[in-house]
Structure 1
Amino acid sequence: MIKVAKFGGSSVADAEQFRKVKSIVGSDPERRFVVVSASGRRFPQDNKVTDLLLLVNAHIEYHVDCTALLSDIQARYQDIADELELSYPVAERFGEFAAQVKGFSPEYVVSRGEWFTGQLMAEYLDLPFVDAAEVIVFHHDGSVDMERTAMRLRDRATRLGSFLLPGFYGATVDGSIKLFQRGGGDITGAILARCLDAGVYENWTDVSGFLAADPRVVDHPRSIHRITYDEMRELSYMGASVLQEEAIFPVRETNIPIQIKNTNDPDAKGTIIRETAEEHVKEHLITGIAGKRDFMAIHVQRAHISNDVGYLRRALSVFEKYGVSVEHVPTGVDSFGVVVNGADVKDSIYSIVNELQHELEPDSINVVDSLALISVVGRNMSRRAGTSGRIFGCLGEAGINIRMITQSSQEISIIMGVNNADFERAIQCIYDRFVDGEMVEMPQLAQ
């Protein structure tokens, strides 16, 4: 079986982290293909190399001398090479880059973080280095040419048997460097896993997978050992993210599981992102709970809304006009609400309400601010009747008022709106009652 192992910035931050990566890769001969990010923070107040290179671009744009900044970046790589006794000529190669930096595209400059990290790690692991610009092919619109990319990656794999690939970037057919969005190293790893038909895509980071709740709200929440792609998307949307969301799509289409592991605790079980479960295995009723504060709901009421074709479309077009993303649209017989991020409308809410009044001629419009959204996610909730009612009852017993309720069409999440002031108490209440303990036995393979 082929395992693709991707190591994030925290996993390659310094020489000590390099040693951990080598131990992990060397412990399993199936880890023949490695993807690395640029070196990340060594300590909380430190800077990621990618951020420093973005700052280099800003210096160049505003004609500010960036010599000292480039020297700091070079020193990061020189320290790693010296401590690990690597032969890679950091001073010479980085000096060549620094001397010409003003002539490079901003994307090329930023990509050098992964490139230099990859060069050092390839030597340390004794793996061939494959430049992502030679194998990850972008269309000019920024999408990946999967056909060309797969052909090139498979060719390298066949000829080399194993290799190290820097993440986050590739190139168009004419050789222009293109970047993925931030966190794009995860996407690189997923593309490689897909193209090589890997048995598993391992994503090594500084946490032991997904947690069932935010540890800033719940003390020592349990780890989630298995999560489906849809559940991951639901929780990630509410901020519980350890993986770049776009990374799931290349491997999901080919049913390759993703294993989230901790470089600093490699024996921890971690989280596996996979659709199927074993028969008769007990799983938690609720997979996880996540939420965010500071939303706003604009409630519109008018008699016989359902008879007015296009009424809701006209309302949503007002938000579109102001460039505001709509989070949820809970509806009633003669009313509906539009839930938006409060920060998105802080400068335009009065204009939006006035335009809604003009466009819709409603009986009333009511704005509710300081709203927190909490998403309770669980693929097994539909297996146990009355789960939603019990959750609402739990909050009622705690004296927490629910301002809004909506449920996903797939029945894997229930989203509730509560006052900002009740946010942490609501999460703790639901976690204590449902998330931490209640189990469901799998009578058959999950769909």
Structure 2
Amino acid sequence: MIKVAKFGGSSVADAEHFKKIRSIIEADPSRRFVVVSACGRRYKSDAKVTDLLYLVAAHVRYHVSCDDLLTDIGQRYFDIADELGLTYPIREEFATFAEKAKAGDLTTEELVSRGEYFTARLMAEYLGLPFLDAADVVAFHHDGTLSMTRTQALIQERGIPGGFVMPGFYGATREGRIMLLDRGGGDISGSILAKCLDAALYENWTDVSGFLSADPGVVPHPQPISRITYSEMRELSYMGASVLHEEAVFPVMEAGIPIAVKNTNRPLDPGTIISDREDYVADEPIITGVTGKRNFVAVHILKDHMSNEVGIVRRVLSIFERYRVSIEHIPSGIDSFAVVVQGEDVKDSLWSIVADIKTEVQPDGIKVVDDLALISTVGRNMSGRPGISGSLFAALGQEGISIRMIAQGSDEINIIVGVRDVDFERAIRAIYSAFSDGDHLLELKDLKRAEAASHPASVR
């Protein structure tokens, strides 16, 4: 059985974490394929090596000295090598890299990728495994998109069957030009490798013991999630839960490979299993998790007899498309609908969009609400179960929280409500409490509230 183990930046921050990783690898002979990120923060006020390397690239671009930055980055690696007694010539290799960086001989992608490269070099020696450069096997097209077909062929051709350590986050084109994945791309690299090796399990090791059912900064001591589906994870990740890069699920999801999110500092904790199993287990919670994001904007368009007018929604959406703004939700009524977008996406164009809607659509009214927060309640076990939305709305009503928008996916695994930004945390706590018995999110506290709850309008 093959397990691919990916270790994030916090898991490779220093020599002590390297030691923890070796214990984890030695504890299970199936863990022979390892992917690592660049060294992360050692403590709260510390900087990630990747962030420092991007800063070096900016200094070089604007002809500002980056000597101190490079000294700090190099020392991170020297300390790890010295404490672990490694023989890899990190000082010589880093000195060569630093000279090329200062001379402007490296692209930003080449420069930034060295964080993962040097981490993997040291880790390979420490674990006694071969090093496999991601540039040799993770294939990119010239437009920066990943070539999964070529990647799979290269890993089969060049991968070492007995195991290896590979840096995450980057790959290369046929001509050898280094290309980067999105930030957090180490998770994606591990997922890609798991798919190409047809692994039985993809383990993503980080500094938390899997997913929690809510943000612990908002809900005190939320319950851990033991099992979650790919769809639920995507919903939670998109709406703010940031344990795992949301794009990391696609390669393994397509291959039917489960993901285990584990804690490097507490390896015996069960963590969270992400898989495509959607069957109901009796003692599982109804609600998998509650999360959300702030800073959304809703543009409400009102027009009498709108339901009889063909094309009005299309015309409005084409205006947003013209400004390259992605649409989040479109709640609607008989004579009105709203277009909900992320505030960051329209910070420079909102009033131009409104003006174009007035000119081209000629609505009877248009209103902008810019203090909107969206909260997503996610759970595969909600589907087909009566009383869920009623209990949720009643819980918010009892707290005096006004619901400004409601949306539910057709698969019934999530309910999204919009509330005022000032009510964001209070609303999450109210929803969490509504489905909690104090120890587990198992059953509705009071089904009678659901029967008495009145459903608010879709758009307010």
Aligned equivalents of 2:308, 2:9: Cα separation in 1: 55
Q: Is the 8 A contact 2:395 2:430 kept in 1?
A: yes
What residue identity is the alignment partner of 1:437?
L
The aligned residue for residue 445 of structure 1 is: none
- Greater Cα offset, 148-157 or 357-366: 148-157
Residues 329 and 221 from structure 1, CA distance in 2 versus in 1: closer, same or farther, beyond 3 angstroms? same
Counterpart mapping for 1:341-352 below 5 A: 341-352=342-353
The superposition leaves residues 133-160 of structure 1 with CA deviations (integer Å, 9 ceiling, x where unpaired) of 1111111122222222112212344x44
Q: Is the 8 A contact 2:391 2:434 kept in 1?
A: no
What residue identity is the alignment partner of 2:118?
F
The offset of 1:175, in angstroms, is 1.0
- Residue ranges of structure 1 left out of the alignment (5+ in a row): 441-447
1:202 is paired with a residue of what secondary structure? strand
Q: Is the 8 A contact 1:208 1:268 kept in 2?
A: yes
- Greater Cα offset, 353-362 or 234-243: 353-362
The aligned residue for residue 254 of structure 1 is: 255
1:107 is paired with a residue of what secondary structure? helix
Aligned equivalents of 2:330, 2:172: Cα separation in 1: 40
Residues 379 and 358 from structure 1, CA distance in 2 versus in 1: closer, same or farther, beyond 3 angstroms? same
The offset of 1:204, in angstroms, is 0.2
The superposition leaves residues 177-202 of structure 1 with CA deviations (integer Å, 9 ceiling, x where unpaired) of 11111111111101110011000000
- Greater Cα offset, 361-370 or 50-59: 361-370
The aligned residue for residue 19 of structure 1 is: 19
Aligned equivalents of 2:100, 2:91: Cα separation in 1: 14
The offset of 1:281, in angstroms, is 4.2
The aligned residue for residue 150 of structure 1 is: 152
The offset of 1:360, in angstroms, is 1.4
The aligned residue for residue 79 of structure 2 is: 79
The aligned residue for residue 192 of structure 2 is: 191
Q: Is the 8 A contact 1:329 1:339 kept in 2?
A: yes
The aligned residue for residue 117 of structure 1 is: 119
The aligned residue for residue 53 of structure 1 is: 53
2:276 is paired with a residue of what secondary structure? coil
Aligned equivalents of 1:279, 1:425: Cα separation in 2: 30
The offset of 1:348, in angstroms, is 3.4
1:411 is paired with a residue of what secondary structure? coil
Counterpart mapping for 1:344-363 below 5 A: 344-363=345-364
The aligned residue for residue 137 of structure 1 is: 139
Aligned equivalents of 2:351, 2:157: Cα separation in 1: 59
The offset of 1:280, in angstroms, is 4.5
1:373 is paired with a residue of what secondary structure? strand
Aligned equivalents of 1:279, 1:315: Cα separation in 2: 41
The aligned residue for residue 3 of structure 1 is: 3
1:326 is paired with a residue of what secondary structure? coil
TM-score (norm 2): 0.92
Aligned equivalents of 2:185, 2:330: Cα separation in 1: 31
The aligned residue for residue 454 of structure 2 is: none
The superposition leaves residues 33-88 of structure 1 with CA deviations (integer Å, 9 ceiling, x where unpaired) of 00000111111111111111111111111112222221211111000000011111
What residue identity is the alignment partner of 1:314?
R
- Greater Cα offset, 38-47 or 272-281: 272-281
- Residue ranges of structure 2 left out of the alignment (5+ in a row): 445-460
Residues 437 and 147 from structure 1, CA distance in 2 versus in 1: closer, same or farther, beyond 3 angstroms? closer
2:435 is paired with a residue of what secondary structure? helix
Aligned equivalents of 1:379, 1:278: Cα separation in 2: 9
Aligned equivalents of 2:323, 2:266: Cα separation in 1: 47
- Greater Cα offset, 211-220 or 58-67: 58-67
The offset of 1:278, in angstroms, is 6.3
2:290 is paired with a residue of what secondary structure? strand
What residue identity is the alignment partner of 1:172?
T
What residue identity is the alignment partner of 1:24?
I
What's the % identity of the aligned pairs? Answer: 61
What residue identity is the alignment partner of 1:145?
S
Q: Is the 8 A contact 2:283 2:442 kept in 1?
A: no
2:307 is the counterpart of 1:306: yes
Counterpart mapping for 1:11-410 below 5 A: 11-101=11-101, 102-157=104-159, 159-276=160-277, 280-410=281-411
The aligned residue for residue 443 of structure 1 is: none
Q: Is the 8 A contact 1:4 1:193 kept in 2?
A: yes
Aligned equivalents of 2:211, 2:354: Cα separation in 1: 39
The aligned residue for residue 451 of structure 2 is: none
The offset of 1:285, in angstroms, is 0.3
Residues 347 and 152 from structure 1, CA distance in 2 versus in 1: closer, same or farther, beyond 3 angstroms? closer
**How many residues are paired up?**
439
What residue identity is the alignment partner of 1:295?
F
Q: Match for 1:437 among 424, 436, 441?
A: 441
The aligned residue for residue 449 of structure 2 is: none
Residues 278 and 320 from structure 1, CA distance in 2 versus in 1: closer, same or farther, beyond 3 angstroms? closer
2:262 is paired with a residue of what secondary structure? strand
1:98 is paired with a residue of what secondary structure? helix
2:135 is paired with a residue of what secondary structure? helix
The offset of 1:105, in angstroms, is 1.6
Aligned equivalents of 1:153, 1:439: Cα separation in 2: 47
